[in-house]
Structures are given as structure tokens and as C-alpha cells.
Amino acid sequence: MTQGLTDNPGASVTVELDLASPISSYTIVPADETPVGTPDFVVIPGASEERIFFHTQVCQDFGGRDLVALLVSKALTDSIRETRAALGEA
């Protein structure tokens, strides 16, 4: 799953989800560059498959661009949506 977004100065960035076992992550990539940040998480099996985010990191060279806010917002929005879907909520 990939979603294009815009950072604080208006540059295009992409947030990608990498589901893996045991540690999954989201990755933020500025246009035409290498990944510069990730929040890592594990999925706790069960009815709602809870996600526990335990580490978020963004390269210091990209400070001031609100990349952490974009990453956390996207990760939490996805987590809430997937939990609701697993519970059969709209």
C-alpha cells in the first residue's frame, strides 16, 4: 500500500506500508530519493490484531518538514481503520 502526500515545504513524499513478520513498518520517501524515515510496529494477534508502534525514526537532514507527523498520522489512521474493519464497524 502506497500513498502520496505533501510535506511542510510542499514537496511530494510517499508513505509505503511494509507488512512483514515479526516487525512491520511504514516508510516515508521524498520524491526521487531513498527512504528517510520509518515507524516500526508489531501486530498482536487476536480479534482486532492490535498494532504496537515501538520505534519511529526520521533522518535529521529532513528536520522541519513534518515527516514524523505525516508518518504517525498515516500509521494511526490505517491502524484505526483496520481495527474497525476487523471488528465489523463502519
Average predicted confidence (pLDDT) for the chain? 85
pLDDT in tens, 34-51: 899 999 999 888 766 788
Q: Mean per-residue pLDDT for 47-58? A: 84
Question: CB–CB of 4/16 below 8 Å?
Answer: no
Cα separations (Å) of 46 from 5, 18, 20, 38, 78?
31, 20, 17, 25, 17
Q: What percent of the chain has pLDDT over 90?
A: 28
Q: Would the pLDDT of 30 be above 70? A: yes
* pTM of the complete model: 0.78
Tell me what pLDDT residue 23 has: 94
